[in-house]
Structure 1
Amino acid sequence: MTAHPPTKFPHIVVHAPALDGSRRVTEGDVTLGIASHLDDVVEILRMADLDRIEVEESDLIEWQGGGPDDWPGLSEHPES
């Protein structure tokens, strides 16, 4: 009987917000994109063919510096 290799699940990291509130999204050492809102994270994962991941609830996503509702750049900079 032949053993099957374990299925590799991606480890996605949404990094802590930058000064402008944007958050880098990575898979391992690869930057997938820069998000300014939760919808951007969804789109970045879709473009990386990872759109089957539930962004707000998945254990495959590590949220650093705040969760999916933390986008300080959106509320700290009032519109001119």
Structure 2
Amino acid sequence: MTSACPGSEHEHGSGSGSGGPGPAPRLVVHPPDHRGWRRVRCDGRSLGTAYRISDIAVFLAATGMEDAEDFDLTDPALVDWRGGGPDCWTPPPV
């Protein structure tokens, strides 16, 4: 499986062996703010604010991930989309 955040694979093992729940998603995309922008965090570390989905691949590439543009942002095992999925980039209703 491709790691969402290179360099820290040892930090998030489930510790339960096979059959137990897997590790929590390591990449978290927060809900859109009042402008529709979304904060992106990996292992608790801020990667930046995304204005569109393609920004996330740029953030991942900056962490050293090879082939970041091919990373599956729709995989719930790797990405925790909060407040809407990868197609949600509009501000919440006022």
Identity of aligned residues (%): 32
- The residue number in structure 2 matching 1:3 is none
Aligned residue for 2:55, secondary structure, equals helix
Q: How far apart, CA to CA, are the structure 2 residues paired with 1:15 and 1:22?
A: 9
- Unaligned stretches of 5+ residues in structure 1: 1-6
Aligned residue for 1:33, secondary structure, equals strand
- The residue number in structure 2 matching 1:60 is 78
1:17-32 pair list within 5 angstroms: 17-32=32-47
Aligned-pair CA distance for 1:55 = 1.6
CA RMSD, Structure 1 to Structure 2 (Å): 2.3
Q: How far apart, CA to CA, are the structure 2 residues paired with 1:54 and 1:68?
A: 11
Runs ≥4 in structure 1, deviation > 3 angstroms?
Answer: 7-10
Q: How far apart, CA to CA, are the structure 1 residues paired with 2:55 and 2:36?
A: 13
- The residue number in structure 2 matching 1:70 is 88
Number of equivalenced pairs? 68
Q: What TM-score do the two structures reach when normalised by structure 2?
A: 0.61
Aligned residue for 2:77, secondary structure, equals coil
Aligned-pair CA distance for 1:53 = 3.1
- The residue number in structure 1 matching 2:22 is none
